[in-house]
A = this chain, B = another copy of it.
Amino acid sequence: MKKTSLKDIAQKAGVSTALVSYVLNGKEKETRVGEVIAKKVREIAKELNYQPNHLAKSLRSGKTHTIGLIIADISNPFFANIARVVEDEAKRNGYTVIIGSCDENADKSWDLLNVLINRQVDGFIIVSCEGSENQIQYLKERNLPFVLLDRHFPDIQTDFVATNNYKASYDAGIHLIKSGYERIGLIAYKSEMYHMVERIRGYKYALSDNNIEFESNWLKEVMFENMEQDVKTAIDELLASEHKVEALIFATYGLAINGLKYINELRLKVPSDLAIVSFGQAEVFDLYYCPITYLRQPLELLGKTSVEYLLKKLKNPDEGMKQILMEAKLIARDSSMAKSVWLAE
């Protein structure tokens, strides 16, 4: 049995499809449809359980009520959760989301973008990956609406909703220093992405603002593609006796996971052998034998705001540019316990 269409209703009511369309779109007033017949049409529509055909509507209107969400790495629970928030918020507004993960790969991101453009999504929310600046430029040139989420490019003027990574990282450093640690390392990705650059900058400033001279071998930048091995090497080096660090900041969730695994292997005790603060958030941090201090980003708010701004742009293409930085919150746990506390034990 086929779906009921406007035509079916029109036939049954003995009127034209135009009239049915007017009634069901609440345009009876403007188009002067008779009350009696309007009521009849509505009844028949209900009776036949009429559901408008999205495709036909979209074809006509050019609007699909669909948002394309491109995520740099969906296996990261932070992103997975943000995807969920975006999906929920979009649904609340009558939009459907098509999600794609590019796995930090610009080529894959480009493919995804094309699939989504082809599907005629109305707009994009994008967590960019390294080397995808050209894609953002492309969207700008083609005048396709989008909002960057969590990551942005300072050299490209775009809307974005992101975390203040400088501040977050600075806070992490300050927190460790206040807890009595001085030799503090940072494991980050080797990347030119702005969020990473900012995390490194914040860390350095936290040190220098507290008269701790930054030592270049406290900073380890590892390759995403070779993370597991690189993190091990980095930790080995950070713990080599000459410049042994007593605390360590992980610039991402993935780095923390790999780092903690290795720290376990080495049978190092957190925080007495090595204090830890990490970006990202996940159940692991709670469950670790010594719960991990982490920077909680305003996940819900980031996701919701990005949807909100995108939808605003869709409604009004001339909407002004929005560039929002939100603050992360440091959640202090035992992994960065004040040095004095465990020294006393």
A residues apposed to B, CB below 8 Å: 51, 53-56, 58-59, 64, 74-75, 77, 80-81, 84, 87, 91, 96-101, 115, 117-120, 257, 260-261, 264, 282-284, 286-289
Question: Would you list 22 pairs from A and B whose C-beta atoms are within 8 A, ordered by A residue?
Answer: A53-B120, A55-B64, A74-B80, A74-B84, A75-B80, A75-B84, A77-B80, A80-B80, A87-B100, A87-B101, A96-B98, A96-B119, A257-B287, A260-B287, A261-B286, A261-B287, A282-B283, A284-B284, A284-B287, A287-B287, A288-B288, A288-B289
The answer to whether B260 and A54 touch across the interface, beta carbons within 8 angstroms, is: no
In Å, the complex CA distance between A81 and B77 comes to: 11
In Å, the complex CA distance between A29 and B94 comes to: 45
Q: How close is A66's CB to chain B, nearest CB, in angstroms? A: 8
Given A261-B287, A289-B289, does the pair A115, B99 have CB atoms closer than 8 Å?
no
Residue on B with the closest CB to A114?
A: B51
In Å, the complex CA distance between A257 and B282 comes to: 11
Residue of B51, B59, B80, B87 touching A118 (CB-CB under 8 A): B51
Interface centre among A59, A75, A101, A257 (most CB of B within 10 A): A59
Residue of B74, B84, B264 touching A289 (CB-CB under 8 A): B264
Residue on B with the closest CB to A286?
A: B261
Q: Which residues of B contact A101 (CB under 8 A)?
A: 84, 87
Given A84-B75, A287-B260, does the pair A99, B99 have CB atoms closer than 8 Å?
yes
Q: How close is A134's CB to chain B, nearest CB, in angstroms? A: 17
Q: Which residues of B contact A115 (CB under 8 A)?
A: 91, 96
Q: Which residues of B contact A287 (CB under 8 A)?
A: 257, 260-261, 264, 284, 287-288
In Å, the complex CA distance between A264 and B285 comes to: 13
Q: How close is A140's CB to chain B, nearest CB, in angstroms? A: 14
In Å, the complex CA distance between A161 and B117 comes to: 32
Q: How close is A136's CB to chain B, nearest CB, in angstroms? A: 19
Q: How close is A166's CB to chain B, nearest CB, in angstroms? A: 28
Q: Which residues of B contact A119 (CB under 8 A)?
A: 54, 96
Shortest Cβ-Cβ A-B pairs, 8 listed: A289-B289, A55-B59, A284-B284, A55-B58, A80-B80, A257-B283, A55-B55, A284-B287
Q: Which residues of B contact A264 (CB under 8 A)?
A: 287, 289
Residue on B with the closest CB to A290?
A: B289
Q: How close is A47's CB to chain B, nearest CB, in angstroms? A: 18
In Å, the complex CA distance between A284 and B283 comes to: 7
Q: How close is A328's CB to chain B, nearest CB, in angstroms? A: 21
Q: Which residues of B contact A261 (CB under 8 A)?
A: 286-287
Q: Which residues of B contact A286 (CB under 8 A)?
A: 261
Q: How close is A80's CB to chain B, nearest CB, in angstroms? A: 5
Q: Which residues of B contact A56 (CB under 8 A)?
A: 59
Q: How close is A118's CB to chain B, nearest CB, in angstroms? A: 6
Residue on B with the closest CB to A60?
A: B55
Q: How close is A64's CB to chain B, nearest CB, in angstroms? A: 7
Q: Which residues of B contact A53 (CB under 8 A)?
A: 59, 120
Q: How close is A216's CB to chain B, nearest CB, in angstroms? A: 30
Residue on B with the closest CB to A291?
A: B264
In Å, the complex CA distance between A288 and B291 comes to: 11
In Å, the complex CA distance between A268 and B159 comes to: 50
Q: Which residues of B contact A99 (CB under 8 A)?
A: 87, 99
